[in-house]
Structure 1
Amino acid sequence: MPKRQIYLTGFMGTGKSTILNCLHQLCGLQKIEMDEQIVQEQGMSIPDIFAQKGEETFRNLETELVKRISHMDNIVVSCGGGTVMRQCNVEEMKKNGTIVLLTATPQTVYERVKGSHNRPLLEKNMNPQYIEQLMEARRPKYEAAADIIVKTDGRTAKEICQEIKERLEINDNTK
């Protein structure tokens, strides 16, 4: 594998956590779930960070974590949905990594996240129309950052991971 990290990006509910775990198991890569890492380090949930410290503080925590990750080898990272909104994060990720954009339709995202209360940006707007508006607002940055784009609608995690492995020419480490 020519680059040291794989960054899974995309809107919330596109399958980043699921694909992170699948690539970890299939390829033997270390894994980091950025949101989980921030929650662990801050000792509070993401909604609490947003409420008590603000979105800007959360985004700064993401940037600091991206900088630390960029020095690691053979790792797959599930980025928070907004990580690529900051160009400095994208530049850091591209230094040693490949950015994989996972996509899904607004309806698929809605079906996947409708029972979740851990998504502050959707909490008061949990509907396909709002999801579509937010996705469209972010799409140019997601697509500009992406090295490859993988659709997740109607596909199993294994099928998606297989496509990523083939496109990034990753060898199995779990023989």
Structure 2
Amino acid sequence: MAGDHSGLNKEEMKNIALIGFMGAGKTTVSHALRALYGLTEIDTDQEIVRQEGRPITEIFATDGEAYFRQLEHDVVLRFQDVHAAVISCGGGLVMNPENVKNLRTSCIIVFLTATPETTLLRVKDSADRPILNGHMDVAYIRMLQEKRRPAYEAAADICVATDGKDVETICCEIMQKMKDFS
């Protein structure tokens, strides 16, 4: 069962970096992995908000996407020496190959997927998605997912679909697949 983490050796365990499009379930799965397995939880977007003292939408509006992407890069570097952690990465973080290279030094990279329809259901009520501002529809989400998919797939060690699954099932699937990397 997911709560059974006997045999989980945190000293030898690589970190889990969760990547994927917004709404794929990275934050939800990250919280569950922390609760079920006692992992340290790091959310790159939350770290940036904490560091900057302002929301991501304001960072995008005031300083632009390039500045935000540099902040993401800096966060990845800052957490390279952490162990037994789950790192929930912002949706665009792996678009920078340098971030992927840096994540690989200490992480198994898990690509969480969701269909455009599922994604819209999960994010439609959020005002904190600057990339979707004015484009909260399935067609735009599909286009953006397809544009980013090659980068996600190239970065991923493991791929897990989240559509129609409860979070505990997703966590079990991740931990099962991670055994191949021990």
Please, what TM-score do these two structures have when normalized by structure 1?
A: 0.95
- Following superposition, the deviation at residue 165 of structure 1 comes to 1.1
Measured in 2, the distance between the counterparts of 1:109 and 1:44 equals: 25
- The separation in 2 between residues aligned to 1:164 and 1:141, in whole angstroms, is 20
Q: Distance in 1 between matches of 2:141 and 2:113?
A: 13
Question: What is the aligned partner in structure 2 of residue 35 from structure 1?
Answer: 45
CA contact (8 A) 1:83 1:89 kept: yes
Identity of aligned residues (%): 46
> Which aligned pairs between 1:122-137 and structure 2 lie closer than 5 A?
122-137=132-147
2: distance between equivalents of 1:147 and 1:46?
Answer: 28
User: In 2, are the aligned partners of 1:3 and 1:98 still within 8 Å (CA)?
Assistant: no
Q: What residue in structure 2 maps to residue 77 of structure 1?
A: 87
Could you tell me which runs of 5 or more consecutive residues in structure 2 were left unpaired when the two chains were aligned: 1-8
| Per-residue deviation, 1:3 | 4.6
Q: Select which of 57, 61, 65 maps to 1:55.
A: 65
Distance in 1 (alpha carbons) for counterparts of 2:85 and 2:179: 15
Of residues 11, 16, 21, the one that matches 2:21 is: 11
**How many residues of Structure 1 are paired with residues of Structure 2 in the alignment?**
170
Flag as ranges the 4+ runs of structure 1 deviating above 4 A.
none
Describe the SS at the equivalent of 1:51: helix
Q: TM-score, normalised by structure 2?
A: 0.91
**Paired residues for 1:1-175 under 5 Å:** 2-169=12-179
